[in-house]
Amino acid sequence: MLDKGEKTPSTRVRSVWCFLMLSLMMTTLVFIFNNSSIEMSWPLNICRTTSVPRTPQPYNNTTTPIVSVSTPQYFVAYPHQYPFILDQPNRCWQESPFLVIMIPVAPNNREARDIIRDTWGKETTVLGKVVSHYFLLGQSREGGELLDEQVLQESQKHQDILQSNFVDSYNNLTIKTMVMFEWLSSHCPNTSYAMKVDSDIFLNVHNLVNMLLEAPQHLYMTGLVARSAPVLRDQNSKWFMPVSVFPESIYPPYALGLGYVFSLDLPKKILEASLHVKAVYIEDVYVGLCMRHLGIALTDPPSGSLFRATVPYMESHCYWTSVITTLLESSNRLSDIWELYQTQRRSDC
């Protein structure tokens, strides 16, 4: 869960701005008070930021909705058996990769898959370690037989598609994530790490493997770790969460779904936890809830600038060789940025 619009830095800028304005007004008021004795009310609420929790409109109090919000869509049908329609049953144990990269993508998004195969998906041996990738698909609701046939052919050609039979939709991403953990725990007995990464991400596989060579080997999960993220109660939010589904006001720590890495002993444990933690539709939050249930802390990356949510305003000369992930506006940008990355690699970055 990551909002490309609401960023904490802007809140910080606003706080600084408010502090300066308040100081200025203070000075002015002191001046006025010294010259006359007018009573003035102090305009404190001008500095309330939008991050102050708002009372959600449809609720009279925090426990009972007046307007009945149907909650089933915020829960997800998991645990449940979702068989694979397209699989690579032997590839992972035969290849025994050090790192497996799992990419959730919609069935009709062939373009994103091809761009990845042509860019960071090509990195199959890095620092002497075998790396492989798989695309994770559900079933398209409207694609029909034509799309099924195209995906089948694509799978036969590239041998990198895992497709399960749940409906592929945004609200079912938790199912996709859990099916990913199931597949990893049963197909990759000799793999050290896996990464879940979205298709619109620049991924520097070299830096990733380099970090993992020094990383803990057990009970390890890292990425962009969200701590103290507020639960959004605004029904218009993409991540609206009804109190009846999750009553706490702060989420436990979780790694943002755009790209997180974990040791291969975790999938089995997360699946065990999922039997006790009711599945919610925000997939990265749900993994965080399972981690809390297990009592396993998330690890921050060795440097705060490795996992980036956005391209910085001023990107440095060696930017693409210095990061592990960066979220792009769309996967179409990946080809250009991959070129740029190759250029930076050849220069003295």
Ligand X SMILES: *[C@@H]1O[C@H](CO)[C@@H](O)[C@H](O)[C@H]1NC(C)=O
CA distance 147 to 143: 5
Residue 205 burial by CB count (10 A; 0-12/13-18/19+): exposed, middle or buried?
buried
| Paired residues of 195 in beta bridges | 101, 261
Shortest reach from residue 177's CB to ligand X, in Å: 13
Count how many Cα atoms sit within 13 Å of the Cα of residue 277 in the half-sphere of its side chain.
Answer: 24
Shortest reach from residue 43's CB to ligand X, in Å: 27
- Residue 48: C-alpha distances to residues 4, 14, 262 (Å): 21, 10, 38
Q: CB-wise, 188 or 225, nearer to ligand X?
A: 188
CA distance 202 to 48: 36
Q: CB-wise, 50 or 63, nearer to ligand X?
A: 63
Helix (H, G, I), strand (E, B) or coil at 331: coil
Shortest reach from residue 230's CB to ligand X, in Å: 19
Whether the ω angle into residue 79 lies within 30 degrees of 0, i.e. cis, is yes
Q: CB-wise, 45 or 61, nearer to ligand X?
A: 61
Nearest to 340 by CA among 322, 127, 13: 322
Q: CB-wise, 34 or 63, nearer to ligand X?
A: 63
Q: CB-wise, 64 or 310, nearer to ligand X?
A: 64
Options 125, 190, 343, 347; binder of ligand X; rule CB under 6 A: 190
Residues from 284 through 343 that contact ligand X (CB under 6 A): none
Is the CB of residue 88 less than 8 Å from the CB of residue 136?
Answer: no
The size of the interface with ligand X (CB under 6 A), counted in residues, is: 14
Shortest reach from residue 167's CB to ligand X, in Å: 4
| Paired residues of 103 in beta bridges | 135
Shortest reach from residue 181's CB to ligand X, in Å: 17
Shortest reach from residue 130's CB to ligand X, in Å: 8
Residue 81 burial by CB count (10 A; 0-12/13-18/19+): exposed, middle or buried?
exposed
Shortest reach from residue 159's CB to ligand X, in Å: 19
Task: Kindly state whether residue 191 participates in binding ligand X, applying the rule CB under 6 A.
Answer: no
Is the CB of residue 198 less than 8 Å from the CB of residue 260?
Answer: no
Q: CB-wise, 171 or 344, nearer to ligand X?
A: 171
Residues from 38 through 97 that contact ligand X (CB under 6 A): 60-64, 77, 96
Residues from 141 through 170 that contact ligand X (CB under 6 A): 166-167, 169
148 Cβ neighbours under 8 A, 6+ residues apart: 140
CA distance 306 to 208: 9
- Residue 175: C-alpha distances to residues 151, 167, 278, 294, 335 (Å): 20, 9, 12, 19, 30
Q: CB-wise, 171 or 210, nearer to ligand X?
A: 171
Shortest reach from residue 172's CB to ligand X, in Å: 4
Shortest reach from residue 60's CB to ligand X, in Å: 4
Q: CB-wise, 138 or 259, nearer to ligand X?
A: 138
| Residue with nearest beta carbon to ligand X | 169
Q: CB-wise, 62 or 244, nearer to ligand X?
A: 62
Structure tokens at 312: 């910085």
Options 108, 171, 186, 210; binder of ligand X; rule CB under 6 A: 171
Binding site for ligand X (CB under 6 A): 60-64, 77, 96, 166-167, 169, 171-172, 175, 190
